Chain A
Amino acid sequence: MVASSDRRPVVVVDNVHVEYKVLATGKKATAANTKQSIFSRRRTMQTVHALKGVSFTAYENDSIGIIGSNGSGKSTLMRAITGLTPVSKGNIWASSRPSMLGVGAALIKDLSGSRNVILGGLALGFTKAEIEGLYDDIVDFAGIRKFIDMPMRTYSSGMTARLKFAIATIRDHEILIVDEALAVGDRAFRTRSENRIREIRDNAGTVFLVSHSMSSIRDTCNRVIWIEKGEMKMDGDPEEVIAAYEASS
């Protein structure tokens, strides 16, 4: 553990289990039964044990990389920390409500980028005057001034991710979770956002970075957690953990 006990803990994850109950169609789609009507498919309740007892403590000024293969439970862990996914066993404590940036849909896709900037800022609790003052910074950071008046449904996934990142990071978050959101950005944006993450970390914030890009993690993180099949495999110095991870795959 890199952690030393005199630093203030920001997120404490204590023996967390997450189980999903998902309705799944019971049969495989083989040639014989693809012709069946959708009504006759049996639906069964399946339990997915996504996290099996993960524990760690994150301290202020930590920036923690989360690595692991697809489906290992990284995003589930992050969603549990934000409170979006309930834990079925164990507990999570946090010093403030974490914000999570993930890839995915635009905030409100029918509105232009500039409307989304204003709404996002207002939703985060800024006043109208404050958000107008910050507007240019956000747009420049995202680097999409040319397209700012077009509806967000016309944006590429990279542009959407850039704008969302720019909006969410105007507030000095205590805890920020970035889930693959940088992966879709181009190189210039990645450098800019990695700088921003370091800045947040230096302002007593804590950043979790979920990524498959080991170079991103090496550049921004001072600690790496490796999750595999819902269990914590390793937790420690980036070089060591990444070397072990790369050796295993």
Chain B
Amino acid sequence: MPVDASRLEAQGLSRVGGRPPYFSYMREVFQRRDFIVSLARYRIEAENQRNRLGVGWVLLKPILNALVFGLVFGILMKSHADTPFFIEFLLIGVFLFEFFSGSLGAGSKSITSNSALVQSLSFPRMSLPISVVTQKFFQLVPTMALLIIALVVMGHRPQLEWLLLIPLLALFYVFCLGMVLIVARLTVHVRDLANLIPFLTRFVFYTTGIFFSFDVRFADHPELLEIVQYQPVYAILSLGRSILLNSDPLYTMDPTLWWITGAWSIGLLVIGSVFFWRAEERYGRVF
């Protein structure tokens, strides 16, 4: 008995393995926002429940991180020679970068490490990478509060301008989400990529100027400074430092960095979401 496709479609059947159109897919993802947020919150709990200090590690980790970098680059290597407010400079860099590297690392495995969930329930898979970035963002917020306290303790007067941190963090979230959507899909095609991500983040770490200031180190190469500002993580970190440390002329805010950050974030989100959606039917595959 030959199958008549048009007759089946008239009876409300559709081909298995098709994906919904982009906008209805994105609407489905938006309807899962409770799922995304709950998954992010529960993950933070679960990560820490076997530790004695529990959720305290959310704060302890970045502090220890900053201590190590402060010791190595501030005291042992003296890379701070001409950088004003070096400790603050380092703290802002380390805390913000942690969000980027954490999102990318966990996000690249967001589909592959959740195969049990993906294979037993049907829901838009994009919820998983979004949830990972959201989880890292929830972990970023208390470290930012910690940073503000540290700045005040070190004698910086709180200013209204510090509120600009909110739109900056929002753009940073969007930027990381776009990146993660791309690597999450690529990792499904080529598992090996998950092994490369740590090298990628380390490369970005050393070339972004976390523990040395590009503006000081390459002050005599203006063309290099011109190029590096188009590197999105550099732009975001520079903006963060200009917002919080504006009492020194080195950290004067360059408004074009906002445009660069905005363009990267929105651009990556659009590209990433389309790229991820186009392989939606692939993510549950066993082989």
Listed in ascending order, the chain A residues whose CB lies under 8 Å from chain B are 8-10, 12, 14, 20-22, 79-87, 91-95, 97-102, 104-111, 115, 118-120, 122-125, 127-128, 151, 164, 167-168
- 1/0 contact trace for B1-32 toward A, CB 8 Å? 00101001101111111000000000000011
Is B82 interfacial (CB 8 A cutoff)?
no
Is B8 a contact of A105 with CB atoms below 8 Å? no
Which residue of B is nearest A107, CB measured? B117
Is B116 a contact of A105 with CB atoms below 8 Å? yes
Is A95 a contact of B13 with CB atoms below 8 Å? yes
Q: A12-B8, A108-B117 are in contact. Are A123 and B127 (CB under 8 A)?
A: yes
Is B3 a contact of A91 with CB atoms below 8 Å? yes
Binds A, one of B38-46, B92-100, B261-269: B38-46
Is A20 a contact of B35 with CB atoms below 8 Å? no
Shortest CB distance A103–B (Å): 10
Binds A, one of B135-143, B159-167, B217-225, B279-287: B279-287
9 intermolecular pairs with C-beta atoms under 8 Å apart: A14-B3, A84-B286, A93-B3, A98-B122, A100-B119, A100-B120, A109-B116, A111-B43, A118-B38
Is A92 a contact of B11 with CB atoms below 8 Å? no
Distance A17 CA – B114 CA, assembled complex (angstroms): 28
Give the residues in chain B near A118, CB-CB below 8 Å.
38
Distance A22 CA – B11 CA, assembled complex (angstroms): 37
Is B226 interfacial (CB 8 A cutoff)?
no
Distance A202 CA – B114 CA, assembled complex (angstroms): 33
Is B34 interfacial (CB 8 A cutoff)?
yes
Query: Which of A8, A93, A110, A111 is B14 in contact with, Cβ under 8 Å?
Result: A93
Distance A128 CA – B31 CA, assembled complex (angstroms): 11
Chain B residues touching A, range: 35 or more
Give the residues in chain A near B127, CB-CB below 8 Å.
123
Interface of chain B, main secondary structure: helix
Distance A128 CA – B42 CA, assembled complex (angstroms): 14
Is B123 interfacial (CB 8 A cutoff)?
yes
Query: Which of B3, B17, B121, B123 is A83 in contact with, Cβ under 8 Å?
Result: B17
Is B35 a contact of A123 with CB atoms below 8 Å? yes
Query: Which of B5, B11, B35, B49 is A122 in contact with, Cβ under 8 Å?
Result: B35
Is A84 a contact of B15 with CB atoms below 8 Å? no
Query: Which of A85, A87, A127 is B287 in contact with, Cβ under 8 Å?
Result: A85
Give the residues in chain A near B286, CB-CB below 8 Å.
79, 84-85
Give the residues in chain B near A10, CB-CB below 8 Å.
13
Is B14 a contact of A120 with CB atoms below 8 Å? no
Distance A242 CA – B127 CA, assembled complex (angstroms): 43
Query: Which of B11, B46, B119 is A84 in contact with, Cβ under 8 Å?
Result: B119
Is B13 a contact of A107 with CB atoms below 8 Å? no
Is B123 a contact of A124 with CB atoms below 8 Å? yes
Give the residues in chain A near B284, CB-CB below 8 Å.
82-84
Is A168 a contact of B120 with CB atoms below 8 Å? yes
Query: Which of B9, B46, B122 is A110 in contact with, Cβ under 8 Å?
Result: B46
Please give me the 3 A-B residue pairs with the lowest Cβ-Cβ distance, nearest first.
Answer: A122-B35, A105-B116, A84-B284
Shortest CB distance B71–A (Å): 33
Distance A81 CA – B284 CA, assembled complex (angstroms): 12
Distance A77 CA – B14 CA, assembled complex (angstroms): 18
- 1/0 contact trace for B34-59 toward A, CB 8 Å? 11001100110111010000000000
Distance A83 CA – B280 CA, assembled complex (angstroms): 11
Which residue of B is nearest A167, CB measured? B121
Give the residues in chain A near B121, CB-CB below 8 Å.
99, 107, 120, 123-124, 167-168
Which residue of B is nearest A99, CB measured? B122
Which residue of A is nearest B280, CB measured? A83
Give the residues in chain B near A111, CB-CB below 8 Å.
42-43, 45-46
Is A92 a contact of B15 with CB atoms below 8 Å? yes
Give the residues in chain B near A109, CB-CB below 8 Å.
116
Which residue of B is nearest A181, CB measured? B120
Give the residues in chain B near A101, CB-CB below 8 Å.
120
Shortest CB distance A66–B (Å): 17
Distance A20 CA – B281 CA, assembled complex (angstroms): 17
